[in-house]
Amino acid sequence: MKKALLLPFVLVLVIACAPITDTSIPAPTPAEEVKKEAAAVPAAAINESVELIIIKCEDTDGGNNPNVRGKAIVYYSNGQKESLDDKCPGLNFQTEYVCEGNTPNTVNNKCTNACEKGVCS
């Protein structure tokens, strides 16, 4: 009876003490990780990191003029331009895009009656 009880104990001990062989894939070296990350970055993301410099800002309606539809046109050093149209974020509110020097900015106006297509009435 003692031999029968001792046998499972010995088997557990032998299995627990057996050497473990690692069959997993080795971890990549830091240099390999850098190569993978660099390859995964799209070219567009690299171009986005270039700082755009505003060279000119032009307001088509002459500044904060909520009763006239207008826009601020921003010209960048890389040749791009951006048009910021006056808009109506709410029924009685207008967002007017203005230029302060060469810097575009917004002015929020409350309209007397309503706002439609970027113009207060």
Split into its structural domains, the chain has a count of: 1
Q: Is 89 inside any structural domain? A: yes
Q: Is 103 inside any structural domain? A: yes
% of the chain surpassing 70 pLDDT? 59
The confidence score (pLDDT) of residue 26 equals: 54
pLDDT > 60? residue 102: yes
Q: Is 8 inside any structural domain? A: no
Q: pLDDT higher for 38 or 100? A: 100
Long-range contacts of 28-35 (CB under 8 A, 24+ apart): none
What confidence tens digit (pLDDT) does each residue in 40-94 have? 545 454 455 668 899 999 999 999 999 999 999 999 999 999 999 999 999 999 9
The band of 3, judged by pLDDT with boundaries at 50, 70 and 90, is: low
pLDDT > 70? residue 18: no
Q: Considering only CA atoms, which of 33, 97, 29, 32 is closest in space to residue 69?
A: 97
**What residues make up the domain containing 60?**
50-120
For the CA atoms of the chain, what is the radius of gyration?
34
